[in-house]
Amino acid sequence: MSLKEIMGRTLATFTQLIAQEVSSWAGFRRALRREDQEILDSLFQAAKYHVAAGSYASKASPFEAMMVAMLIEAYKSNTRLEKRLVCLEKERKQAQQKSADEISDTRH
């Protein structure tokens, strides 16, 4: 028998903890509308993107570490959308200015 077989794993991996949390929220998930179920699934998926960091979050409870990982992903998404919105607003203003300039040129 190898040392690994004797010792075994005493702590669940962060991936296993996420799976346990997903299972514990199953009743809540079933009560949600379909679109909200998909959002909840996406949140738990976001936690999986940060498994390595979650493994080092020894001071936090596993669920707290998952929530922070979910917040990080939500914040990144929000930041991307804000940047895109700024670009679109800039493009809209430039198009409006160009249109106003063209109208001004045709009147003169």
Task: Quick: pLDDT tens for 72-107.
Answer: 999 999 999 999 999 999 999 999 998 888 787 777
pLDDT at 61: 85
Query: Is the pLDDT confidence value at 54 over 90?
Result: no
Model's pTM, two decimal places?
0.63
Please give the structure tokens belonging to residue 11.
């702590």
9's enclosing H/E stretch is none
Number of domains composing the chain: 1
Cα 101 from chain centroid? 43
- pLDDT, position 1: 43
Flag whether 2 is in a domain. no
Phi, psi of 35 (to 5 degrees): -65, -35
Domain annotation covers residue 1: no
% of the chain surpassing 70 pLDDT: 90
Closest to 16 (Cα-Cα) out of 54, 42, 56, 46: 54
**Selected residue with higher pLDDT from 4 and 44:** 44
Task: Tell me the residue range of the domain where 77 lies.
Answer: 9-107
Task: Answer whether residue 70 is part of any domain.
Answer: yes
Has residue 18 been placed in a domain?
A: yes
